[in-house]
Structure 1
Amino acid sequence: MQQGFEIKINGIPVKQHIYGVRDGQDISPYVHEYTDAETGVNVRIISGVAGTPPEDAGDPAALSKDTESWGWYVVCNDRVVLAGDKSERTIWGDDFPGWHPQYNGFVGLIFFTSDKPGELPWTTTKRQIDETLPVFRRATSFMRDATRKYLDYTNTRKVNLEKAKAVESSAAIKPITDIKVISVAPAPMKLPVFESAPKIRMGTVSYQQPLALLSKVAQSLGNSQMSYKQIGQKTFEYYVENEVGE
C-alpha cells in the first residue's frame, strides 16, 4: 500500500496502517542489521515503544486495549508470517521473561530477506515461521537484546509516571521504513531513566506508661478509643512540632 497499491471494500478505500516506533530526543528504537554468515540471509531488527505502557498492570480494561498489536513480528521477503507474537515461538518464556500485559506498547520487527527463499525461516506454505531453523535461532539472541531494556523500563517508569508519559508523548511515531541503520554495531534502545527517591531510614519508638495516664492522654487528644500505638504516634508528633520543629 505504501507503493501505491489500493484496497477497497464496497468502494471505500481501506486506510493504511503504518507500523512504527517512537523516536525523539529521549526515546529511540533498537536498530540492527547484519548478514547471517551461514545462509547469507539479510536480517534487520527494529524494536521500541510503539504505544504507551499501561499505568496499572492490574487494570483489565487498560491491559486489554489494542493488545493484539504488541509483541514480535516476523517478516520474510516482505511477507508478515507472524504478527504480534507473545509466545515461545519467538523469545517469550524461552529462558526469557514470558509475555505480561505490563509490556503492552512494545513492538519488535525482524525482517529476513534473501533471493533464496529456501533459506528463510518459514514453512513451505510461507504462512508460518519455522522457529527451529538455525538462521532464526541465531537471530533470537539479538531479539532478546532488543527487548530487555523495554521490559525494565515498564518498571522504572512507575517512579515518575507523569514525567514518563510526557516524555513518551513528545516522541513522535516514526514509520519503520524511515528508520535507517547508522552503524554496523547494534544501536541500543534509548529510554528515559527515572531514579527512585532515596529511602528514609526508620526506627521504632516503644515505651510503657500507666494505663490510667494513657487513658487521660487519649481523652486529651479527643478520642478515648485511641489505640496505644496511636497515642504514641500523636504524642511524638506533638513533641516534634512544638519542641523540635522541621
Structure 2
Amino acid sequence: MPARDSIKALPTKAFFVEMLVRDIPVENAVLDLVDNCIDGARRLRPEEGAEYSGLTVTVKFDRERFLIEDNCGGFDVAKAETYAFRFGRPSDADATPHSIGQFGVGMKRALFKFGRYFEVSSTTPKERWSMHVDVAEWLADEEGWTFSFDDVTPGEFGPDELGTRIEVRNLRSEVAARFASPRTDRQLAEMIRSHQGQFLARGLRVTFNGRELSAADLSVRSGGKFNPGIESLMFDEGSGAPVTIKLIVGVSDPSPAKAGWYVVCNRRVIVAADRTELTGWGTAGESRGLPKYHNDYARFRGVVFFDCDDAGKVPWNTTKTGLDDAATVWQQAYDRMIEHSRSVFEFLNELANDVAEHGGERSRLLKALTDDTVLTDVGEFGAVDQRFEWDKEPRKLAPKTIGIHYWREESKIEALKGILGVGSAKAVGENSFDWMYRTRVGDDE
C-alpha cells in the first residue's frame, strides 16, 4: 500500500450547504437580502444624513418563487468575482462604510436556503452581467467550487437601468410553505418596517408583496420644560474606525407594545421595545439597577445608536438580528443607558402618583406633558448632550367647569336682558348665576 502524507479534509458541497443554511430562519435570510440592497443605496449616497428618495427595493414571494430587485446601483463583475459569491469575505475586500449587509455569507446563505435554482443579474454604469445556478447540478460537481457568468456586457448604462435582481425558484418545501403563509407575510413586513425604519424614514421605498411599507414610528415628546436625555460617546477613538454611540431617552405616548429600549446598529434596528434584563430592566437588586416593567412605564422610550465604518465593530450578532451583549462597546453604552433611564423613571413615577391622586383630567403634570410638548422623531435630535428634563412645577389648572342648561319664558329673558344690559340668553344665565353666587356664597378670593 503506497505511503500517504496528507488527508483531504474538504467538506462535501451538500454537507457545507446544509450547515450553512440550517440555523438561519427564512425571515432573517430575507432581511439579509434587503440589507444588501440598502448597502447599494448607501454606496450611491454615502454622505451623512443622506436622503434615499427615488431608490426602491421590491420584494415578492409566494409558493413558487422568491424575487427581490432594486435600483440601488448594482455591483460589478469584480465584486462578484472577488467576494459577492465567495463563501466568506476576504480580509482585503473593499468594505461599504457603515454597511449592514457585508457580502460575507448572507446572500449565498439566503439563495441556498430558499431553493434549488436561482438567477442573479446586476447592472452598474459600466457593465451588465447575469448568472444562473442549478443547485443540484452544482452540488453534483464536487471539484468545482465556482459559479459561471451567463453574460457579461461592457457598456454605458443610464441611472434608470442600474440595480440588482435576484430570483429563486424550485423552492425547498418548507420554504414554499412559509412563503405561502399569510402569517409569514405579516411578520416579514413588520420586521422590515422595524429593522429598516431609519432608511424608510429617509425616503427609501420598499414594496413588499404589492404594498408599500412605511417607517415604524420612533419618537419622543419634547417642548416646554420637557426635553429628552441625549448623550454622544466614542469607542475605540484612536483607531481608524471608531464607533460612534448616541443615546436618546425620554417619554412618548403610552403604548405597552412600543415601550422600552431600541438598539440601532448602522441604522438597522436589531432590538426593539426591549423590557428585559438585556437592557437593564428588572435589575433593581443590582447596584443602581432598574425595576421590572409595568404599565406605569408605557411611555418610556430609549434608543441607542451604534455607527461605524467597520460593521464588525458594532455589537450585533452574526445574522444582524440580535445583540452581542458581551461586546465591550455594548458594555460602555449599557452603563450610560441605565443612568439615563433612572431620570425618566423618576418622572414616570411622579406622573403615576399625580394621576392616581387627582385623576387623569386633573393631573397638572399630565396636562403639561400633553399640552406643552410635541412628538418628535428621534432622528431629528442633534448631538448636543443634555439630561432628561421635565416640568417640576406645572402651572395650576383652571377650575373645572360644567354647563347649565334650562328654559324660561322668552318675555322674562328679554326683560332681564334690559335690566342686566346684555344681549343674549346665555349672558342672562351667566350673570344671574354670578349674582346668586355672590349674594349667597360670597366673592371668590
Q: How does 1:85-104 map to 2 (within 5 A)?
A: 85-94=274-283, 95=286, 96=289, 97-104=291-298
> Normalized against structure 2, the TM-score is what?
0.38
Q: How far is 1:7 from its partner?
A: 3.4
Residue 165 (1) aligns with residue 366 (2): yes
Residue 149 (1) aligns with residue 343 (2): yes
- Native 8 Å contact 1:46 1:110 kept in 2: yes
Q: Match for residue 204 of structure 2?
A: 5
Q: Match for residue 43 of structure 1?
A: 245
Q: Secondary structure at the match of 1:46?
A: strand
CA distance in 1, matches of 2:330, 2:227: 25
Q: Secondary structure at the match of 2:387?
A: coil
Q: How does 1:50-61 map to 2 (within 5 A)?
A: 50-52=252-254
Q: Which runs of no fewer than 5 residues in structure 2 stay unpaired? A: 1-199, 356-362, 395-445
Q: How far is 1:126 from its partner?
A: 1.1
CA distance in 1, matches of 2:393, 2:273: 28
Residue 125 (1) aligns with residue 330 (2): no
Q: How far is 1:150 from its partner?
A: 1.5
Residue 190 (1) aligns with residue 389 (2): yes
- 1:122-149 Cα distance to aligned partner (Å, 9 max, x none): 1111111011111101111110121111
Opposite residue 166 of structure 1, the aligned amino acid is K
Opposite residue 163 of structure 1, the aligned amino acid is R
Q: How far is 1:157 from its partner?
A: 2.0
Q: Secondary structure at the match of 1:69?
A: coil
Q: How far is 1:152 from its partner?
A: 1.4
Q: How far is 1:168 from its partner?
A: 1.3
Q: Secondary structure at the match of 1:89?
A: helix
Q: How far is 1:48 from its partner?
A: 0.3
Residue 76 (1) aligns with residue 268 (2): no
Q: How far is 1:101 from its partner?
A: 2.3
Runs of 4+ in 1 over 6 A off after TM superposition: none
Greater shift in the superposed pair: 173-182 or 8-17: 8-17
Q: Which runs of no fewer than 5 residues in structure 1 stay unpaired? A: 53-65, 196-246
Q: Which has the higher contact order (CA 8 A, sep 6+)?
A: 1
Q: How far is 1:8 from its partner?
A: 4.0
Decide whether aligned partners of structure 1 residues 128 and 9 sit closer, same or farther in structure 2, where only a CA change above 3 A counts.
Answer: closer
CA distance in 1, matches of 2:235, 2:257: 30
- 1:205-245 Cα distance to aligned partner (Å, 9 max, x none): xxxxxxxxxxxxxxxxxxxxxxxxxxxxxxxxxxxxxxxxx
CA distance in 1, matches of 2:319, 2:375: 33
Opposite residue 86 of structure 1, the aligned amino acid is R
Q: Match for residue 48 of structure 2?
A: none
CA distance in 2, matches of 1:107, 1:114: 23
- Native 8 Å contact 1:20 1:176 kept in 2: yes
- Native 8 Å contact 1:70 1:104 kept in 2: yes
- Native 8 Å contact 2:340 2:387 kept in 1: yes
- 1:142-164 Cα distance to aligned partner (Å, 9 max, x none): 10121111111122124543212
Aligned residues: 179
Q: Secondary structure at the match of 2:261?
A: strand
Q: Secondary structure at the match of 1:148?
A: helix
- Native 8 Å contact 1:156 1:193 kept in 2: no
CA distance in 1, matches of 2:221, 2:207: 29
Q: Which has the larger radius of gyration?
A: 2
- Native 8 Å contact 2:257 2:273 kept in 1: yes
> Normalized against structure 1, the TM-score is what?
0.67
Decide whether aligned partners of structure 1 residues 113 and 9 sit closer, same or farther in structure 2, where only a CA change above 3 A counts.
Answer: closer
CA distance in 1, matches of 2:269, 2:209: 25
Opposite residue 42 of structure 1, the aligned amino acid is T
Q: Secondary structure at the match of 2:293?
A: coil
